[in-house]
Chains A and B, each alone.
Chain A
Amino acid sequence: DSGVTQTPKHLITATGQRVTLRCSPRSGDLSVYWYQQSLDQGLQFLIQYYNGEERAKGNILERFSAQQFPDLHSELNLSSLELGDSALYFCASSYGSGGYEQYFGPGTRLTVT
């Protein structure tokens, strides 16, 4: 158990819908990272927040957005969902940024039908 929690564990929704994935980092960690793992692809970095501020941005679609709240939990919002958004979404946390070990949550499996 890494200490990072993600909810929900599974999510099934229809195309065009909007969902919110939630992540609570390990106690004391200030950074939260979001990653996507699609069926035929490796891990893709989406976005990083550090202490409430966006720190780095990867291959995140405009339909996706994220935020980190004052209590340091983070939410990833996915809107206008398409079939291709079906994937495993991981959240990870670390104390600092970049050069610190990242601890991964169990992931949220999103299925868009």
Chain B
Amino acid sequence: ILNVEQSPQSLHVQEGDSTNFTCSFPSSNFYALHWYRWETAKSPEALFVMTLNGDEKKKGRISATLNTKEGYSYLYIKGSQPEDSATYLCASTGGQNFVFGPGTRLSVLP
């Protein structure tokens, strides 16, 4: 069974700050890494799916990188806005399983 970890557990930043979080996953039997944005009382919203080592994806002010050899992915948010406040989840797929990390809770203070 995969073990996916995320750090930090929570983060408070000021509006306009840039920030980043880490997702660590077992590099063996890796297939894909997913990032989701999850606002309170809503459903998880897909941000990125990455499969190849060195993959970089970008959507607006949010970007992500993937290192499958060492088993980590970074999510970056440039110029954080209050509407970016949410829990950011990563999930690793490998073999017959999808395993989510515990999430990083981001609060952006105006």
Q: Which residues of A contact B (CB under 8 A)?
A: 2, 33, 42-45, 48, 56-58, 90, 92, 98-107
Q: Which of A33, A101, A104, A107 contacts B98 (CB 8 A)?
A: A33
* CB pair B43 A56 closer than 8 Å: no
Q: What mask results when residues 21 to 56 of chain B are scored 1 for a CB within 8 Å of chain A, else 0?
A: 000000000011010000000011110010100000
* CB pair A98 B45 closer than 8 Å: no
Which one of B12-20, B69-77, B78-86, B99-107 contacts A?
Answer: B99-107
* A48 CA to B51 CA, complexed, in Å: 19
Q: Which residues of B contact A (CB under 8 A)?
A: 31-32, 34, 43-46, 49, 51, 89, 91, 93, 96-103
* A39 CA to B97 CA, complexed, in Å: 22
Q: Which of A45, A100, A104 contacts B44 (CB 8 A)?
A: A104
* CB pair B31 A107 closer than 8 Å: no
Minimal beta-carbon separation of B52 from chain A (angstroms): 10
Q: Which of B49, B99, B101, B102 contacts A45 (CB 8 A)?
A: B99
